[in-house]
C-alpha cells in the first residue's frame, strides 16, 4: 500500500469511496463526499492523501483550515477520513492519520481538531480540551492535538464547505 497526495485522477474514486465508507456508519449525515468535493472546489484541502494498492483508492483523508474564536492561527480540522468498507480494520485509517499529522507538522501547524470516536482517535494523541469547543457537539467527541505553540481557547468553526449537501 502506498499513501500519497491526491491527484485529479483520484477525485471520482475519492467521492465513491467516501460515500461507501459512510453508508452504514453511525453518526453520519451522508454528506461527507459532498464536503470533500466542496473543500476541494473552495481551495481548502491543505492535506488530501489517498491510500492506494497501486490500482484502487482504498482510503482518503482530508485536512482543512479551521478558525478559532480567540484568533489563533495555524489550526486545522481533520476529516472526513474514509476507508473502503472491505478494507476497514486493516490499519489503512491509522496510516492515513499518521501521514496527515506528519503533513501538518511539515506545514508548521499549531494543531489539529477533529470530531469522532475518542476510543479510536486517542491513540493518535487527540483528546478533548477544556476551553476548545465546537458548537452543538458533546465535548468528549471534539478533540484536539497540539503540534506547536499554545492551545487555543475558544469556539472552533469549520469552513462553510462542511454544510455541503450535494
Give the length of the chain: 166
Could you read off the pLDDT of 62-84 as tens digits, one per residue? 999 999 999 999 999 999 999 99
The pLDDT value given to residue 29: 79
Cα gap 58→127, rounded to integer Å: 27
Cβ-contact 72, 146 below 8 angstroms: no
Cα gap 55→120, rounded to integer Å: 28
The correct CATH number of 2-163 out of 3.40.47.10, 3.40.50.12780, 3.40.630.30, 3.50.50.60 is 3.40.630.30
Among residues of the chain, what percentage have pLDDT more than 90? 89
Mean per-residue pLDDT for 141-165? 94
Amino acid at each position: 500500500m502506498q499513501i500519497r497526495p491526491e491527484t485529479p485522477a483520484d477525485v471520482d474514486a475519492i467521492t465513491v469511496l467516501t460515500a461507501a465508507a459512510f453508508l452504514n456508519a453511525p453518526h453520519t449525515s451522508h454528506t461527507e463526499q459532498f464536503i470533500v468535493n466542496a473543500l476541494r472546489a473552495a481551495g481548502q484541502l491543505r492535506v488530501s492523501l489517498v491510500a492506494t494498492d497501486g490500482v484502487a483508492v482504498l482510503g482518503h483523508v482530508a485536512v482543512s483550515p479551521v478558525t478559532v474564536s480567540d484568533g489563533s492561527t495555524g489550526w486545522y480540522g481533520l476529516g472526513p477520513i474514509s476507508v473502503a468498507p472491505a478494507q476497514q480494520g486493516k490499519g489503512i485509517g491509522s496510516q492515513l492519520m499518521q501521514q496527515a499529522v506528519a503533513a501538518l507538522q511539515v506545514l508548521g501547524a499549531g494543531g489539529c481538531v477533529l470530531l469522532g470516536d475518542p476510543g479510536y482517535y486517542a491513540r493518535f494523541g487527540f483528546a478533548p480540551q477544556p476551553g476548545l469547543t465546537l458548537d452543538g457537539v458533546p465535548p468528549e467527541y471534539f478533540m484536539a492535538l497540539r503540534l506547536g505553540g499554545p492551545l487555543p481557547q475558544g469556539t472552533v468553526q469549520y469552513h462553510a464547505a462542511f454544510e455541503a449537501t450535494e
